[in-house]
Amino acid sequence: MKQIIFATSNESKAKRFNKGLKELGIEVLSLKDINLKLNVEEDGSTAIENALIKARECYKKTGMPCMGMDDTLYMEGVPEDRQPGLFVRRVNGKSLTDEEVLLYYINLVKEYGKDGKINCKWIYGLAVINEKGEESTYTWSKDDFYMVSNRSNKINPGYPLNSISKYKKLDKYFTEVTDEDMKLLEVNEDDVVDFIASHI
């Protein structure tokens, strides 16, 4: 089985593409799995640039196929200087815990939302480096949801915003959707899995 290292210290994120890639004969290893810590400054101006920074550092340290990922968040009606953009978890220079993230975004929804909700959009960037050192990048977005000021009782560690994010079509929290719901929503990341598999 082929292996690829996901250059992230977020354990939930590290498992994101596991199932789909395993079906294609690729095992995803996290930084924790190989006992590696990366010290990188994510100073890119886009999600793709930050994803490349992480993947390159990981490849430099291991020489193995690596992938890095980053995302940007935009919230409708929030002023430019308050938009999360690339700094979803870093606010005023501080890296927030899951609980602090939740409280911060709930307050943003209360301040700028209408009827307790705000339409949002994620833009993702992914970088894959194969064993030869060849780089490939991919981007995609998700805007079929909004954030609300009331949180779900369930939390996904590492993905705290799932507790205040709801799919527009179902008005259901990300943390509470079932596999059947996902089929109804036609939400999957098969295109991302296929991209990774074809560029490893």
DSSP designation for 148? E
Write down the mean pLDDT value for the chain.
93
33 is catalytic: no
Residues 196/126, Cβ–Cβ less than 8 Å: yes
Mean pLDDT of all residues in 35-56: 93
* pLDDT one-digit tens code per residue, 66-83: 999 999 999 999 999 999
8-12, 25-29, 62-66, 134-138: the lowest-pLDDT one: 8-12
Q: What is the pLDDT of residue 153?
A: 93
Catalytic hit among 70, 143, 171, 190: 70
Q: What is the pLDDT of residue 13?
A: 83
Mean pLDDT of all residues in 163-172: 95
Name, in order, each residue with C-beta under 8 angstroms of 171's C-beta and a sequence gap of 6 or more.
none
Residue found under tokens 């995609």 = 140
The backbone torsions φ and ψ at residue 91, rounded to the nearest 5 degrees and listed phi first, read -125, 125
Cα–Cα nearest to 64, from 21, 19, 20, 31:
31
Mean pLDDT of all residues in 15-41: 92
Residues 152/133, Cβ–Cβ less than 8 Å: no
Name, in order, each residue with C-beta under 8 angstroms of 39's C-beta and a sequence gap of 6 or more.
57
Mean pLDDT of all residues in 97-123: 96
- Three-class secondary structure of residue 160 per DSSP: helix
Asked if the model's pLDDT at residue 188 lies above 80, the reply is no
Mean pLDDT of all residues in 37-41: 88
d(CA 107, CA 51): 29
Asked if the model's pLDDT at residue 195 lies above 90, the reply is yes
d(CA 164, CA 129): 34
Report the 10 Å Cβ neighbour count for 113.
20
